[in-house]
Amino acid sequence: MNPLRYLSGHLYQVSKAGVFIIALLIILLVFPREGRFKYEYRQGKPWMHEDLIAPYDFPVLKSKEELMLQRNRLLSSRPLYFRLDPTVYPSRREIIVQGFLDFLGLQPADTLRNNQPMVNLVRDVIEIADTIYNRGIIQVVPEISDLPPDAVIHLVVNNKSRPVPLNHFFTILTADEYITRKLKVFPREIRPQLKLALEMGLTHNILFDRQLTEKSTEELLSSLPEYQGMIQQGERVIAQGELVTPERFQVLESLKAEAEARAQNPKARLAILLGQFILISLAMLVLALFLYIFRPAVFADNRKVGFIILIIVLMTTITSFVVSNRPWALYAIPLCLVPIIIRMFFDTRLALYIHIITMILTGFLVPNSFEFVFLQLIAGLIAIFSVANLHRRQQFITTALYVFLAYSGVYVGLYLVQEGRLGGMRFFNFALFGSASALLLLAYPTITILEKLFGFVTDITLLELSDTNHPILRDISSKAPGTFHHSLQVANLAEEVIRRIGGNPLLVRTGAMYHDMGKIDNAMYFIENQYTGYNPHEELSPVESAAIIVSHVSNGIEKARKLGLPSQIIDFIRTHHGTRRVEYFYQKSLKLGNNTLPDDGCFSYRGPIPFSRETAILMMADSVEAATRSLSKPDENSINALVDNIIDSLMATHQFDNAPLSLKDISIARKVFKSRLLHIYHIRIPYPSS
C-alpha cells in the first residue's frame, strides 16, 4: 500500500486524528512532571487505606506553624549590626565651632589668642560635643524602635564587633536633652547661641548596617533545622482506621514530600510522562468514541471536533498556568464557561460530557482533586440547567448568580464535612467564587467571536434572526406580505414536526422565516402576493415564467450572503425546493409544445436536495402549505389527500435520499401537517340541523 495515496484518499479522517493527537501533545506539555502522592487523607479523619509502611527512610518535617514560630523567635533575637562612621565627627566639630563664632560675631579662631575666656568657652562647648560623639548618636531604624532600652546591638568598629546596650548611645532627641542640661552652667545670655551651634552639629555617627544584619540573619535561618526526627524503612506510619492526628498528619506530609522529591529523577520523570500520556490518550479516546457513537453528525464535522478540542485544551492550559503561577487564584478560573459555550453551540448532553472530560483532565493538575472536581461538576450542572432554555442574553446574569450560589453551597458543605465547624473558613474563597461567576458574563461576547471564527450559529443568534421585528423580516413583510405570511405558516408547521421527531426547532423556524427571501425583488410573480387579480405570467412564455420562479432560490442565496446570514440559514434557501420541477409551467409548456417534450433543465431547480431533518421537514411544510392554498374547498378529506400526495411525490422524486429521516418520522410529519392544517382552515364537525 502506498502511504501517500492512502493519506490523500483519507485526508479528512487523518486530519481528524491529527486534531486529537495535537490536543494530546499540548495537554501533555502543560501537565506538570511532578509525581503525585497516591493517598488521600484529612487531618482529624480516619485513615481509610490499608496499613501504611514506610517504603524507605525519610525525615519528619516540622509543620509550617512550628517552623514559623521558631523563625519568629529567631528573628526577634537576631543580632542587629551598627557601624561607627569615624568621618562624621571631625566635620561636624568644625560646623559647631564656626556656628558658635558666627553667632557671637567673632572672626576666625586666631582672634581668640588674646581672649582667654572665649577660648575656655569654646573648649567647654567642644567638650560637650566630644562627649556626645564619643558615646555615639545612633540611627533610629524600625528594627530597634520596639526594643527595650537595655537591648543589645552589635557595634562594628574597625571591622570588629562588640555588644553594646542601646541605652549607651544617644539619639538626636536625647543628645539635644543632654545639651540643654549641660548648658545650664553657662551664662544665660549666650545659652541660645551655644545650643544652636551644638544642634547644628548633631547627626548620626552610629549607622545601621543592613547588609551585614541581613547576611547574619540568613545564616541563622539557614541553620534552623527543618526536621524533627526520622522514620525508618519498614516502620508503620499509620494503621487502617487510625485517626489522622496532627502528629500523624505531619508524618504523612513528610512522606508525601519525600515521595514527590524522589519522583524528580530522570527515570521517574520518564515513567510519569508515560503515565500521563496513557491517561490523556484514554480521555481523548473516550471523547472520540462518545462523539462517534452518540453524536455522529458532530464527529463527522472536523470543524466541530476542532472547536470542542480547542475549548478543552484552552481551559486545561489556563488551569495549568494558574496552578503553577497563582495557585491561590485557582477558584477564580471560570471553568463553567466550558459547558455554557458547548451548550450554546450543541446540546445539553454533549455540554455535560465535555465538562466531565475537562474536569477529569484538570483534576490531575490541582490539589485536593476530589473536592475540586466535585465543586466544578455541581457548578457546571447548574450552569447547564440555567442555559438549557436560553431566550435572552440577560439570562447570563442569572446563570452567574446560580453558579455563585452553587460554588458557595458546595464549599460550605465540604468544609463542614472536613472540619466539623464553620470557624476558620476562608471567606476569601467566596471572593474567588464571585470572580469566577462574574467572568461567566464573558460567555456572550466569547460566543459571538466563536460564531464568526467557526461559522457556527447559536440559539441566541437564531432568536434574534427569528424576531419578526428584525430589519430583514420587516423588509420581506413590506415588500412581499403574502410571502411573509406563507413563511410564518411554514415556520409553525415545520417547528411542530421537528419538536415531535427530534431536531432543532429554533433552527427550522428561523430557516423557514428566510427560505423565500429571494422573492422580494419579483414579489408579484408569486401567487401569494397577487392580491389585485393581475398575473404577470400571462404575458410570459412558460420558460420565462419558470426561469423567474426558479431564480428566487439563487436570488435568495445571493441576498442572504450579502446580508451576512449564517450558512445554516442559507442551507434552507438552497434546499427547500431540492431538484424538483416547476410542474405548473412544465405542464403548460407541454400543452403548447406541439407534442414535443420541453427541456427539463429549464423547469427544474438546481438543488441540492435536503441533507438534514430540518431542511427536509421544511421542504414538506413549504410544499403542503403552498398547495393547500389552491384548494377550492379545504375539508378534512381533501387536506388529508393533498398532504399524502405531496409527501409521496417528494419521496418518489428522491428528495429525501440524503436526509436522516425514517419512515416513522415521515409518518409523524403527515399527521402533524394534517392536524395543523385542519386547525388553520377551521374544519369543524357540522352541527345537526334543528
647 part of a folded domain: yes
Give the pLDDT score at 520. Answer: 92
Residue 583 DSSP class = H
Domain closes at, from 454, 475, 506:
454
* pLDDT-based confidence at residue 664 (cuts at 50, 70, 90): very high
Are 503 and 614 within one domain?
yes
**Could you tell me the CA-to-CA distances from 49 to 38, 239, 527 in Å, in that order?**
11, 8, 80
What does the pLDDT read at residue 605?
A: 93
CA distance 372 to 362: 9
Residues 432 and 484 in one domain: no
* Residue 689 counted as domain residue: no
Give pLDDT, residue 306.
94
**How far is the C-alpha of 54 from the C-alpha of 237, rounded, in Å?**
6
Query: 633, 476, 634: which is closest to 560 by C-alpha?
Result: 476
Are 515 and 545 members of one domain? Answer: yes
Dihedral angle sign, alpha carbons of residues 351, 354, 359, 362: negative
User: Across residues 194-213, what is the average pLDDT?
Assistant: 89
Helices in 295-336 by DSSP H: which ranges?
Answer: 296-300, 302-325
Judgement on whether residues 282 and 213 belong to the same structural domain of the protein: no
pLDDT classification of 682: cutoffs 50, 70, 90: low
pLDDT at residue 631 in the model: 83
Q: Sort strands 152-157 and 81-84 into parallel, antiparallel or unpaired.
A: parallel
d(CA 217, CA 210): 10
Residues 581, 491 share a domain: yes
Instruction: Dig out the grid coordinates for 379 from the structure.
Output: 457548578
Instruction: Specify whether the CB–CB gap between 521 and 483 falls below 8 A.
Output: no
Higher-confidence position of 371 and 683: 371
Name the strand (E) or helix (H) holding 83: strand 81-84
For Cα atoms 541, 546, 549, give the angle at the middle one, nearest 5 degrees.
130
Range in 448-462, 475-489, 502-516 with the lowest mean pLDDT: 448-462
List, for residues 288-324, the tens digit of each pLDDT value.
999 999 999 899 899 999 999 999 999 999 999 999 8
pLDDT band, very low/low/confident/very high, at 103 (cuts 50, 70, 90): low
Assess if residue 299 is contained within a domain: yes
Mapped to the 3 state alphabet, what secondary structure does 334-357 carry? CCCHHHHHHHHHCCHHHHHHHHHH
Per-residue pLDDT averaged across 252-269, rounded? 82
Task: Judge if 609 and 523 occupy the same domain.
Answer: yes
Q: What pLDDT is stored for residue 213 in this prediction?
A: 92
Cα dihedral 649→651→654→659 (10° resolution)? 140
- Label residue 282 exposed, middle or buried (CB < 10 Å: 0-12, 13-18, 19+): exposed
Q: Is 362 part of any domain?
A: yes
**Domain shared by 298 and 205, yes or no:** no
Phi-psi group of 106: left, alpha or beta (phi > 0 → left; psi -120 to 50 → alpha; rest → beta): beta
Residues with Cβ within 8 Å of 295's Cβ and at least 6 positions away in sequence, in order, are 346, 350
| Domain stop point among 433, 454, 475 | 454
Instruction: Name the strand (E) or helix (H) holding 52.
Output: strand 52-53
Q: Are 125 and 143 in contact (CB under 8 A)?
A: no
Residue 364 domain flag:
yes
Cβ density class 594-616: b for 16+ within 10 Å, e for less = eeeebeeebbbbeeebbbbbbbb
Q: How far apart are CA 382 and CA 271, in angstroms?
A: 38
- Specify whether the CB–CB gap between 442 and 546 falls below 8 A: no
Range of the domain at 611: 459-680
Distance (Å, rounded) from C-alpha 457 to C-alpha 611? 17
The average pLDDT across 368-382 equals 92
Q: What is the pLDDT of residue 43?
A: 81
Mean pLDDT within 232-254: 88
Report the pLDDT value the prediction gives residue 409, as an integer from 0 to 100: 95
What is the rounded average pLDDT for all residues in the chain? 88
How far is 596 from 592, CA to CA, in rounded Å? 9
Give the Cα separation of 390 and 160 in Å (integer). Answer: 79
Query: How many CB atoms within 10 Å of residue 165?
Result: 12
pLDDT band at 121 (very low <50, low <70, confident <90, very high): confident
* Tally of domains in the chain: 3
**Using the 8-state DSSP alphabet, how is residue 658 labeled?**
T
Q: Of 110-124, 210-224, 377-391, 534-548, where does mean pLDDT reach its minimum? A: 110-124
pLDDT tens-digit series, residues 385-440: 998 777 677 788 999 999 999 999 999 998 888 777 787 788 899 999 999 999 99
Q: Helices (DSSP H) in 183-245: which residue ranges? A: 191-200, 210-222
**Cell 424538483 belongs to which residue?**
580
CB atoms inside a 10 Å sphere around CB 580: 17
Q: What is the rounded radius of gyration, in angstroms, for the C-alpha atoms of the chain?
A: 44
Can you tell me the mean pLDDT for 86-114?
72
Asked if 573 and 555 count as a contact pair (C-beta separation under 8 A), the reply is no
Shared domain for 549 and 635, answered yes or no, is yes
Distance CA 610, CA 508 (A): 12
Whether residues 195 and 277 share a domain: the answer is no
355 and 433 part of one domain = yes
Q: Per this entry, what is the length of the chain?
A: 690
Q: What pLDDT does residue 687 have?
A: 52
Give per-residue pLDDT as tens, 431-472.
Answer: 999 999 999 999 888 988 998 888 888 888 898 899 999 999
State whether 400 and 465 are in the same domain. Answer: no
**Where do we find the cell 460567555?**
443
Does residue 464 sit within a domain? yes
Grid cell for residue 132: 556626645
What count of other Cβ atoms lies within 10 Å of the Cβ of residue 113? 9
Exposed/middle/buried for 108, CB within 10 Å: 0-12, 13-18, 19+? exposed
pLDDT at 690 over 50: no
User: d(Cα 19, Cα 475) in Å, to the nearest integer?
Assistant: 43
Residue 189 lies in a domain: yes
Amino acid type, 455:
G
Residue 500 pLDDT level (bands cut at 50, 70, 90): very high
User: Residue 155 and residue 86: Cα distance in Å, rounded?
Assistant: 13
Given 430, 454, 478, which residue is the final one in a domain? 454
The Cα–Cα gap between 248 and 122 comes to: 75
SS3 at position 133: helix
Q: Is the pLDDT of residue 105 over 70?
A: no
pLDDT in tens, 578-613: 999 988 888 888 888 655 677 777 889 998 999 999
325 vs 394 pLDDT, higher one = 325
**Is residue 424 located within the same domain as residue 468?**
no
Q: Is pLDDT of 683 > 60?
A: no
Does residue 503 form part of some domain? yes
What pLDDT digit, counting tens, does each position of 89-100 carry? 888 888 887 777
Structure confidence at residue 624 (pLDDT): 94
